[in-house]
Amino acid sequence: MKAHTKETQSTMTPDKALQFLQEGNERFQNNLKANRNLLEQVNETRDGQFPFATILSCIDSRVSAELVFDQGLGDIFSVRIAGNFINEDILGSMEFACKLAGTKLIVVLGHTSCGAIKGACDDAKLGNLTTMLSKIKPAVKAVEEPKDESLRNSKNLDFVDNVATKNVLFAIENIRRQSPILQEMEENKEIKIVGGMYDISNGNVTFFE
């Protein structure tokens, strides 16, 4: 499989970009890989890059976007931060990726049993981590069940995963609200912004729009 070129990127649509990721995740789950020569892709991309998607995911070592979507060099922009939340720097990176570099899809990818989400659920305190986890607290508060405080912690994995899903949805809302550039591109159907959850137990990504 060749690296993407300006021509292949220009023919890509938001829906086709999403389909590419879905097909890549299916290959990953079936322990298959597209036939690509990475060193050859190094050579093909030395004068430029033409990725088709931008993926915001967690730093979790089990959730590498390039691997779980079976993508090669020059295929995707990968933005990673614990808890996959939005801030000004990440929004700037996304605006560059979509408006200037031509990607057609933004994916906010959460995952099950997320350590950052667990920390927010437990109100963990540790240096700069405290400030970082505060960005996830709104998602914790937004998940109403269970109401029993003794069950609203990292030991309740269903609660953790529900918070992770809510956190993804909040991130998408923040992208649209805080970036007029990306909101306009989405309204003009130049890009699509979607969320997804990666299951660390089986490698499956469930997308939701």
185-208 pLDDT per residue, tens: 999 999 999 999 999 999 999 999
87-106 pLDDT per residue, tens: 999 999 999 999 999 999 99
- Least confident residue range of 47-51, 131-135, 140-144: 47-51
Structure confidence at residue 122 as a pLDDT band (50, 70, 90): very high
What does the pLDDT read at residue 24?
Answer: 96
Q: Is 195 helix (H, G, I), strand (E, B) or coil?
A: strand
pTM, rounded to two decimals: 0.94
- Given a cut of 90, is residue 5 above it in pLDDT? no
38-55 pLDDT per residue, tens: 888 888 888 888 899 999
Binding-site sequence positions for Zn(2+): 58, 60, 111, 114
What does the pLDDT read at residue 2?
Answer: 79
- Given a cut of 80, is residue 209 above it in pLDDT? no
Per the structure block, which two tokens stand in for 200?
Answer: 């660390």
Cα dihedral across residues 179, 64, 198, 18: positive or negative: positive
CA pair distance 154, 99, nearest whole angstrom: 38
Q: Are 140 and 121 in contact (CB under 8 A)?
A: yes
Architecture of domain 6-115+168-208: 3-Layer(aba) Sandwich (3.40)
Q: Are 84 and 57 in contact (CB under 8 A)?
A: yes
Per the structure block, which two tokens stand in for 129?
Answer: 């981590």
6-17 pLDDT per residue, tens: 778 888 899 999
Binding-site sequence positions: 58, 60, 111, 114
The amino acid at residue 56 is L
148-195 pLDDT per residue, tens: 999 999 999 999 999 999 999 999 999 999 999 999 999 999 999 999
What does the pLDDT read at residue 28?
Answer: 96
Q: How far apart are the first and last CA of the chain?
A: 29
Structure confidence at residue 63 as a pLDDT band (50, 70, 90): very high
CA dist 81 to 86, 116, 187, Å? Answer: 9, 10, 27
Q: Are 1 and 176 in contact (CB under 8 A)?
A: no
